[in-house]
Amino acid sequence: MGLVNTQFFVGTRCRLSRHKDAKFVNGWVQYFRGESIVVTAEDHLGSEPGDTFYVEAYGPKAKACMNAVLKIVDADNTLSDEAEGQAVPLIKLTLQLKGHLQVVDNAEASRVMVDRMFATFKAAGVEFRAQIRDVSVHGIGLITDAKLATGTELELTIETALGPVVSKGVVRHVRDYRGKFRVGVELTQLSRLDGSRWKKLLGEAA
């Protein structure tokens, strides 16, 4: 690929593989410029300055791969506005690139972290309002009180800056999360208008 603006990766999902024990830290790119990349994560697995990682950042249609050394660990960060305004503690990791940055094609849909974005849906006759943690062209990640089973079909109304987007969806994965549930939903059916609005929103987010 040709030259790629590293700003395309800001806000997207990334994975850090720690060289000394091959453990993975999953997070989101908050800053990426020159030889510095800043990642926020919910758990850094006890990583310390001096640890080295192989980093993969999953941007729109491209994946950035690099080796990097951890310089700063800052545990005093939060992501505001969980479902009812509760702050979510995050750890900020500042890393310095070592060697060359490689950018390759990425067929996987890019996931973009969002804040202050919500969706409503019904489950077992009860309406729930859930925080949206990340979005992609084909799906959303929710934080919700609803205990949903994999394969559950939902009809969602997604609140966006461009107006509501209504879509049918299928629950693809569920895990416990701080007394709630993290739910990955594949968006399976949008009208032409809602689909156009969603793609426009993702274009702006990316």
How confident is the model over 168-184, as pLDDT tens digits? 999 999 999 888 999 99
Cα 57 from chain centroid (whole Å): 11
CATH number of the CATH domain containing 131: 2.40.10.220
Summarised one tens digit per residue, pLDDT across range 38-49 is 999 988 999 999
Picking from 105, 129, 157, the residue at the C-terminal end of a domain is 105
Quick check: 116 pLDDT over 60? yes
Q: What is the pLDDT of residue 194?
A: 92
Is 143 within a domain? Answer: yes
Predicted confidence band at 79 (pLDDT cuts at 50, 70, 90)?
A: low
Task: Decide if 1 is inside a domain.
Answer: no
Among 105, 135, 166, the domain boundary falls at: 105
Q: How far apart are CA 31 and CA 56, in angstroms?
A: 14
| Residues 146 and 78 reside in one and the same domain | no
